[in-house]
Amino acid sequence: MRVLVKGAGVAGLTVAHELQSRGADVIMLEPHANFAGAASWLAGGMLAPWCERESADASVLERGEDAPDRWEAILPDLVTRNGTLVLAPPRDQSELRRFASRTTGYHWLDEAEIAALEPSLAGRFREGLFLPREAHLDPRQVLMALRANLTAAGVTFTAEADGDDGYDRTIDCTGAARIGTLPGLRGVRGEMLYLATDEIALARPVRLLHPRIPVYIVPRAKGRFMIGATMIETEFSGPITARSLMELLNAAYTLHPAFADAIVTETGAGVRPAFPDNFPRVARHGNVITLNGLYRHGFLLAPTMAAEAVDLAFSDHPRGERSL
């Protein structure tokens, strides 16, 4: 089967991987070089379904629980399984209890246990939550590795195609570009920044709770940290605002004052594609399959949703729809 996959974000690349491993002949259409048009490039890369359960439906946890295993099968050695640490400044301790009451899969840590897990945070927080089964990955490393593997396996990447003729199926994974043409799809803006410092080392993502602006800090290689992310109901993808920059930097400083001397190496804003229920959706109409609406769960849910999309592509039924 010859398949055109539109969009080389995490959705399109996992779909292409799944298609290629099931023997399809895959061509990828992606107009932007270097992931410039992809929300996926700006993601935190947290595979954190228990943390997400605090604000998401149980099905996100059920379908996301095996995400580290699924990624490991696609790209061995790129998943870090060190869990997640959830903290709150002393004035927001009630937020920790509220968070704990809305999810499972955690245990409480005292000050000494926090210091044992993250020596850089010794003496800074009296208690916290640890979610040991969560994991994280570096989205940029993953996207580049997927693209390189697909290219090596014979998948063609092109910036232009003459329409869908000549393909048995088209799988549309163009994310926020479909806002306005895919009913119900909206954008949720996420602003983020990168800091670099040798003063602090973290082994796992840390979520810092706040009643208005919960923030997370995800460690990357070579003393870099991704700080994210705002959640703003707009499809505006322009540069980060001064308010968001201040709030993200404040949170980093609250986690550790040494972040004040870190270098700001990058700021950015991406648009998360979301349906009204915030669940991703796969739909087939004739030979066109659409996978979209990955919201804040693109890395968490792409492998499982890609498998659903490819099942629909290989099915004999010309119509179908799957959600979580």
Ligand X SMILES: Cc1cc2nc3c(=O)[nH]c(=O)nc-3n(C[C@H](O)[C@H](O)[C@H](O)COP(=O)(O)OP(=O)(O)OC[C@H]3O[C@@H](n4cnc5c(N)ncnc54)[C@H](O)[C@@H]3O)c2cc1C
CB of 216 vs ligand X, minimal distance in Å = 8
271 Cβ contact list (under 8 Å, min separation 6): 39, 175, 176, 179, 187, 188, 189, 190, 235, 236, 237
CB of 172 vs ligand X, minimal distance in Å = 8
CB of 221 vs ligand X, minimal distance in Å = 17
Token duo for residue 232: 């703003």
Query: What's at 159, amino acid-wise?
Result: A
CB of 11 vs ligand X, minimal distance in Å = 3
Residues that bind ligand X (CB under 6 A): 6-12, 29-32, 37-40, 42-46, 173-177, 190, 192, 228-229, 270, 272-273, 294-300
First to last CA, the chain: 27
Which residue number, 20 or 174, has a Cβ lying nearer to ligand X?
174
CB of 10 vs ligand X, minimal distance in Å = 5
CB 210 within 8 A of CB 199: no
Which residue number, 115 or 132, has a Cβ lying nearer to ligand X?
132
Q: Report the C-alpha gap between 3 and 164 in whole angstroms.
A: 9
Which residue number, 128 or 174, has a Cβ lying nearer to ligand X?
174
Which residue number, 108 or 236, has a Cβ lying nearer to ligand X?
236
Token duo for residue 285: 């109409």
Q: Report the C-alpha gap between 125 and 118 in whole angstroms.
A: 11
Which residue number, 121 or 142, has a Cβ lying nearer to ligand X?
142
Which residue number, 94 or 158, has a Cβ lying nearer to ligand X?
158
211 Cβ contact list (under 8 Å, min separation 6): 92, 95
Name the residue with the smallest CB distance to ligand X.
Answer: 9
Query: What's at 141, amino acid-wise?
Result: Q
Q: Report the C-alpha gap between 284 and 215 in whole angstroms.
A: 36
CB of 126 vs ligand X, minimal distance in Å = 27
